[in-house]
Amino acid sequence: MFRKVLIANRGEIAIRVMRTLREMEIVTVAVFSDADRASLHVRMADEAAWVGPSPSAESYLRIDRILEAARKHGADAIHPGYGFLSENADFAAACEEAGIVFIGPSAESIRRMGSKTAARQMAMAAGAPVVPGALETLASVDEARSFGARYGYPLLLKAVAGGGGKGMRRVDSDAALESAFRDAASEAERSFKNADLYVEKLIERPRHIEIQILGDRHGHMVHFGERECSIQRRHQKVMEECPSPLVAERAGMRERMGEAAMRVARSAGYYNAGTVEFLVDGSGDFYFLEMNTRLQVEHPITELVTGQDLVRLQMEVAAGAKLSLRQEEIAWRGWAIESRIYAEDPYNNFFPSPGKITRLTRPTGPGVRLDGCVYEGWNVPIDYDPLLAKLAVWNDTRERAIARMMRSLREYDVGGIRTNIAFFRQILEDEEFRRGRLHTGFVDEFLARCKPLQPPPELAAIAELVAAHHAKESTSRNGSIPAAPAAPSRWREIGRGEMLR
Amino acid sequence: MTAPQVEQVEPGVYSVLVEGRSYEARVEQVEGGVAVFVDGHRFEIEVHDPRRWRRQTGGREIAGRLNVVAPMPGKIVRLLVAAGDTVAAGQGLLVVEAMKMQNEVKAPKAGRVVSMTGREGATAAAGDVLAIIE
């Protein structure tokens, strides 16, 4: 086993990895930028190395500086976490060249999965279902018509050179095809100077369900079941659960998805931890989307339900050990949900809210797991992703896991900055959510339909009472006079109960 | 009806007992008042306590001088007055930016600016002295 491991990351994931390393009695090396000198991952590590100024391009993304730090500190291996260099094939290759183990798949596997179209072709070759579509450019509208006849409507016309929804048209019937084709092609021409289109079957209200896999370097691989990640905002996951409400009620679906995921991974010669993402339609049919060649943000819910430590397994297989775990030994018990707590203001367009944490009360108690990087007095830097913590809960049923998440969110207090804690409470109360009717458009629809929540009047009265009390306390205690408007006014409640929208 | 019992249990955290019910409220300073959080709901309350202004002209001043402190952490973007200037009560002294919002810090009383301790571009922590007025 490794003696010393450098974690090429920051924030909560660096801390998550360090926790397992410490349990394994492996020495931990943190890296940090200027903005992170006082960050918790640096405070927790056994050793720490400065790798550059605050912008990540000058620090956490600098392969040369990370490797230099690893050499200087004598690290045997590097754990990349997620984001930053974790899916950078050049970094994985550079580690191996430097004689330092990269805790992840081979550079070759990362490269193969890095291109969406190549990954999709590989998945098809491996016999995994992909969204029906022709990757080749459509020669004419007739080709699109015969595709529609074969796979049915609705379908999606997309610009080959496209992105951001430009040159994209939904087509609901054969009759609408011709004009949609014309519009999409001319829009693609205007936007990308390339009118080429391709066609794909449109999956309506798809779920995003992914399979966790892990393999060793000796050809043995297992899957850890699925995570449902359909609660997303702007294609970013915000809340995940394990198992998926859909998969849980369909006999054999987990096994079928697990097998498909492993077929794709094996065809890329994959080892270490990875996640295969699928789109799932209303009838339970699933289609390969892409593979993430790293530990996922939301891995804790899989750990809660399977009782496995994925980081420990990553270490073991990276050190060359055979994976001793057999597929039949992996069992799923109960239900886990994770909320990603961000420094952002859900009532002001989810605007980032960096700043100093002035108060902090963490949820604790039965079935609560918190992977965070915050402490009272810490300044949330403006330079990085505003993820403060991942709050994950476990309970024996979905309904009870929801109640436990609700209870934990009510215990959670972060002062000085805005967070999205209250937003999760609103989602958890939503009837559609409670029924498990999830899809990737859920949050957008929820934001459109959710009604302003009126704070109970008695809470407003409590707030006024406390404000009055607080004013007395601060003037009698404090020699300095707080800067405040001099215009006299009586107590007035401005009345922004902020759980309302 | 019994009177509510309000107890500061931690700095800025209050436990309130009203007719057998228990509430917890947390207070943050914001421009012009306070924000009070009760069970995840946020209430902004404009603060003016007559006692407070009385105190300012009372014994709290040291040799007639008064420290103006930052109500919240932020960046000093602009100084509006200079040392030696005479200011009226309520006049803006400097502008502090916090969380992308600009807030004017005002003179709590009329007088002469003894010194402006804040510098443009500097960051201020809550409670830092920004100006001294006498």
Domain ranges within chain B, ordered by starting residue: 5-46, 62-133
The confidence score (pLDDT) of residue B118 equals 81
Show the 3-state SS of A22-66: HHCCCEEEEEEEHHHCCCHHHHHCCEEEEEECCCHHHCCCCHHHH
Phi, psi of B10 (to 5 degrees): -145, 165
Whole-angstrom distance, CA of residue B64 vs CA of residue A414: 38
Note whether residue A76 is domain-resident: yes
Same domain, A164 and A92: no
Residue B65 is given by DSSP the state B
- Rounded average pLDDT over B41-52: 69
Residues B81-115: tens digit of each pLDDT: 999 999 988 888 988 776 555 677 888 778 899 88
Contact residues on chain B for A468, CB-CB shorter than 8 A: 49
Residues A267-317: tens digit of each pLDDT: 999 999 999 999 999 999 999 999 999 999 999 999 999 999 999 999 999
Note whether residue A126 is domain-resident: no
Contact A484 B71 (CB under 8 A): yes
Which segments within A429-485 are labelled E, that is strand? 481-482
Q: Which range among A54-63, A129-138, B18-27, B60-69 shows the weakest confidence by mean pLDDT?
A: B60-69
Same domain, A188 and A229: no
B60 has a pLDDT exceeding 70: no
A 10 A CB-CB count for A41 gives: 25
Whole-angstrom distance, CA of residue A255 vs CA of residue A243: 13
**Catalytic choice (A254, A294, A398, A418):** A294
Q: Measured between CB atoms, which of A421, A463, A479 is closest to B40?
A: A421
Q: Do A153 and A145 form a contact (C-beta atoms < 8 A)?
A: no
Residues A348-370: tens digit of each pLDDT: 888 888 899 999 999 999 999 99
Same domain, A216 and A321: yes
A484 has a pLDDT exceeding 50: no
Angstrom distances, CA of residue A68 to CA of A65, A71, B68: 5, 5, 48
Q: Residue A175's pLDDT band (boundaries 50, 70, 90)? A: very high
Sheet holding A27-33, edge to edge: A47-52, A27-33, A4-7, A77-79, A101-102
Longest CA–CA span in chain A (Å) reads 82
Rg (CA), chain B: 17
More confident call, A494 vs B5: B5
By residue count, chain B amounts to: 134
Q: Per-residue b/e over B62-76, b at no fewer than 16 CB within 10 Å?
A: eeeebbbbbbbbbeb
Same domain, A228 and A157: no
The confidence score (pLDDT) of residue A327 equals 98
Whole-angstrom distance, CA of residue A393 vs CA of residue A370: 8
| ipTM summary value | 0.77
Residues B77-89: tens digit of each pLDDT: 889 999 999 998 8
Name the token pair of A201.
């079957």
Could you tell me the CATH number of the domain that includes residue A251?
A: 3.30.470.20
A497 in contact with chain B, both atoms CB, cutoff 8 A: yes
Name the token pair of A457.
């009047």
Note whether residue A340 is domain-resident: no
More confident call, B28 vs B110: B28
Same domain, A27 and A52: yes
Known catalytic membership, residue A294: yes
Percent of chain A with pLDDT over 90: 77
Could you tell me the CATH number of the domain that includes residue A159?
A: 3.30.1490.20
Same domain, A144 and A261: no
More confident call, B53 vs B102: B102
Measure the CA angle with vertex A352, ends A348 and A355; round to 5°. 115
Note whether residue A89 is domain-resident: yes
Q: Residue A492's pLDDT band (boundaries 50, 70, 90)? A: very low
Contact residues on chain A for B53, CB-CB shorter than 8 A: 488
Q: How many CA atoms lie within 13 A of A45 on its CB side?
A: 31
Chain position carrying tokens 């980032």:
A352
Q: Residue A106's pLDDT band (boundaries 50, 70, 90)? A: very high
A30 has a pLDDT exceeding 60: yes
- Rounded average pLDDT over A426-449: 95
Same domain, A295 and A327: yes
B40 has a pLDDT exceeding 80: yes
Note whether residue A394 is domain-resident: no
Read off the pTM: 0.80
Q: Do A318 and A211 form a contact (C-beta atoms < 8 A)?
A: no
Contact A485 B25 (CB under 8 A): no
Name the residue of chain B whose CA is nearest to A464's CA. B45
Q: Residue B53's pLDDT band (boundaries 50, 70, 90)? A: very low
Query: Could you tell me how far CA A57 lies from the centroid of its own chain?
Result: 21
Q: Residue A164's pLDDT band (boundaries 50, 70, 90)? A: low
The confidence score (pLDDT) of residue B123 equals 84
The confidence score (pLDDT) of residue A501 equals 35
Bond into A206 cis (ω within 30): no
Residue that finishes a domain, picked among A61, A88, A103: A103
Q: Which range among A213-227, A478-492, B46-60 shows the weakest confidence by mean pLDDT?
A: A478-492
Note whether residue A416 is domain-resident: no
Whole-angstrom distance, CA of residue A255 vs CA of residue A276: 14
Contact residues on chain A for B90, CB-CB shorter than 8 A: 485-487
Contact residues on chain B for A356, CB-CB shorter than 8 A: 73, 125-126
The confidence score (pLDDT) of residue B52 equals 42
Q: Measured between CB atoms, which of A422, A480, A494 is closest to B44?
A: A494
Q: What residues does A68 pair with on adjacent strands? A: none
Same domain, A307 and A220: yes
Q: Residue A493's pLDDT band (boundaries 50, 70, 90)? A: very low
A476 has a pLDDT exceeding 70: no
Contact A359 B26 (CB under 8 A): yes
Query: Could you tell me how far CA B70 lies from the centroid of its own chain?
Result: 7
A482 has a pLDDT exceeding 50: no
Contact residues on chain A for B105, CB-CB shorter than 8 A: 483
Q: Do B22 and B39 form a contact (C-beta atoms < 8 A)?
A: no
Q: Residue A478's pLDDT band (boundaries 50, 70, 90)? A: low
Q: Residue A341: in which H helix or E strand, if any?
A: strand A335-342
Domain span at A182? 133-201
Amino acid at A375: Y
Calculated CA dihedral for residues B92, B96, B101, B107, nearest 10 degrees: -30
What is the domain class of B62-133 according to CATH?
mainly beta
Contact B108 A497 (CB under 8 A): no
Residue that finishes a domain, picked among A184, A201, A218: A201
Note whether residue A414 is domain-resident: no
Angstrom distances, CA of residue A466 to CA of B36, B43, B44: 8, 11, 12
Q: Do A388 and A339 form a contact (C-beta atoms < 8 A)?
A: no
Same domain, A11 and A41: yes
More confident call, B25 vs A491: B25
- Domain count across chain A: 3
Could you tell me the CATH number of the domain that includes residue A40?
A: 3.40.50.20
A177 has a pLDDT exceeding 70: yes
Mean pLDDT of chain A: 91
Note whether residue A437 is domain-resident: no
Residues A51-86: tens digit of each pLDDT: 999 999 999 999 999 999 999 999 999 999 999 999
Name the token pair of A195.
């009118």
What is the distance in angstroms between the Cα of B60 and the nearest Cα belonging to chain A? 6
Q: Residue B71's pLDDT band (boundaries 50, 70, 90)? A: low
Residues A324-347: tens digit of each pLDDT: 999 999 999 999 999 999 999 888
Q: Per-residue b/e over A125-163, b at no fewer than 16 CB within 10 Å?
A: ebebbbbebeeeebeebebbbebbeeeeeebbbbbbbbe
Q: Measured between CB atoms, which of A358, A482, A486 is closest to B69?
A: A482
Same domain, A192 and A226: no
Q: Which range among A35-39, A99-103, A201-205, A387-391 shows the weakest confidence by mean pLDDT?
A: A201-205
